A and B are shown apart, each in its own frame.
Chain A
Amino acid sequence: MTLSLALVAVLVVAAAAGLFARNRAIGLRGGSERLNSLPNYHGLYVGLWAALPALLFLAIWAPTQTSLVDQAVLASPAGQQLPDFDLARETILGEAQEIASGEREAGFNPESSALAPVYAEASAKYATVGGAIAIAIALAAAFLAMRRIRVDFRARSGVERWLMGLLVAASLIAILTTLGIVLSLLFESLRFFKLVSPTEFIFGTSWSPQMALRADQAGSSGAFGSVPLFWGTIFIGAIIAMIVAIPLGLMSAIFLTQYAHQTVRAWLKPILEILAGVPTVVYGYFAALTVAPLVRDFGISIGISSASSESALAAGLVMGIMIIPFVSSMADDSIAAVPQAMRDGSLALGATRSETIKKVVLPAALPGVVGGVLLAVSRAIGETMIVVMAAGLAANLTANPFESVTTVTTQIVQLLTGDQEFDSAKTLAAFALGLALFMITLVLNLIALSVVRKYREAYE
């Protein structure tokens, strides 16, 4: 019996118990007293009691089961002969699991084939135990809930308490996700910093994570100085992209809110938003195939012989285009929030519209615009596909936009795709980079959100 079968069984039990309870409540009708709650609520009450505790148990059991099965396999005679080295053991266990579930015929390690039957047996045993417990919980809870059905039983309040619990649980998932991100990144990063010193990671200027094949080769430890990566990220995302996006986005917002006719605005705003809806992989392809050769040819024609076909400029330009609608809609919101009275006052003094915008509206909207720009920067430095496809892999510290630079996100993708062994410094470095990226965007987002919020309150 697998756990998904147990899941279905629990749901069937719950549905049957619910229907039964509903019919019983209908049977109670017709006496002298009126039912306190509608029959449907009685049914729902019993059904929820039957389903939710058992589902909760299954949710906790499923991950526990994996480690129990692993322990059982390791304790078996064949399992005790496995190498002590964690990595090798986990690989073999993983292969045994895949063979047991029929995903592959045989593993690379001969031990895994011997372990597969043990594995299949252990997981079948624990799944049966877990499934049986879950069904027992469902039946017991349904029985207990059923006993409470009486004419004056407040089934609706009971159902509402369950619903409330579900609503609270749903809203806690956001916190759990944040916590999950922080913990998983932190945990792997700490393992990375055991191998590589944090000072080298933060201040080092050379990045070449390629591990040598043999330990005695030169540079076998790899170099993990992240400065060139962060420079590349800032150069593409915060400098080149913003040089494109801020003027175009801001001027678009000003034109659409202050000058354009209502119908023109109604058409142009959604069209601009299409730019934000185009998938980033499409932008990446566009940047790599169309923009990059143009930029390289332009660079060579103005006499820069080192112009690369994976230039920072191509990736930055396309990223800027992608960010335009983002900046524009943030600026749009904050300009619209400036009270009309301020605008009227300026116009009444004889200022032209552009003078009003430059001297009154923009200064008043500035905090919102700055917040929007910060959010845009945070988005640009976290953007992955454009730089993976259009920027290079060479970690150069250069301010020449025609040369190739690499970014944090490019390197994360590069480090984690390909052959993975989960304990090498190369793989763990990706998590350290991810942690740094998460921290930077978190700070940018928090500043931006608080600036925007404070500013909104000021005019409301």
Chain B
Amino acid sequence: MGKKILTFAEQRDNAFKKSAFEVTKLGRTLADQSGAELVALVLGGSVEKIASELGGYGATRVLTVEDQRLERYSTTAYAAVVAEVARSEGADTVLIPASALGKDLAPRVAVKLSAGLAVDCTALRFENGGFVATRPIYAGKALIEVRVKSAAAVFTLRPNVFTAGVADGKKASVEKAPVTLSDDHFGARVLEVQVQTGRPDVTEAEIIVSGGRGLKSPDNFHLIESLADVLGAAVGSSRAVVDAGWRPHDEQVGQTGKTVSPSLYIACGISGAVQHLAGMSSSKVIVAINKDKDAPIFQVADYGIAGDVFDILPALTDEFKKLLGK
């Protein structure tokens, strides 16, 4: 393993997602460590004009597959294209972001390439001629280190964990990859994308403001939302408030919700059940606001205020407004 690394650069609406840069940058690091070649791949409806941007993150060569039918995601067609390019390039290692799209795509690519699959990796290093990946299991209650023994490997990388840094201004050479797609490749295809406007998603946000049962009623979540909006943050929720029907399930953080790794996680009125802590304890900085000073959330918090959320939240929102000049 380690002859050629193929990185899948995800885009939406013909603009790269941040993870595209994270994956490319890691690909460059691993290629340098292992002596492998690196090639980046981008597919979509109209992606040739953005492809060279990946040069800023370490790609020297970018392959594009442009087809109107790839404008929206199709699990079957995307998998066919990625596997075909990997095969024709002789790539034995494929890096894909562990995003909604990447998590769906990677298993199919792995089967097509008879490759070992390690998902949602938070570290990846070259050691004794192969790659060793670290990945959280039980929503982060434990970590495993795995080695792929098969000749080829597919890794998905957790977004927000690997740093892309700033583009260094280099441009990559861009080539069209020769792939033929027939309608048979589109066994499943996206007809429509419904984007919720406003706040970022918890899995992608730099900052998350989360609320729990301590908010006492769904009507009080405006306190969480106001703080989130001042910070440009996502709104998260504990399982208790999602199960009570106060908040939508796509906000739920924890073992039966989403595992998140933002730069800042502000837990408000959340006591910190084991399953919640598992989902958010890999956040870089954690703030807890809870009136019970013995609540388990304080054991993982970097900073805390052992006070009433109804007093603290409005004051905190005002203080951030002042700081950020809003």
The answer to whether A and B belong to the same complex is no
**A residues adjacent to B (C-beta < 8 A):** none
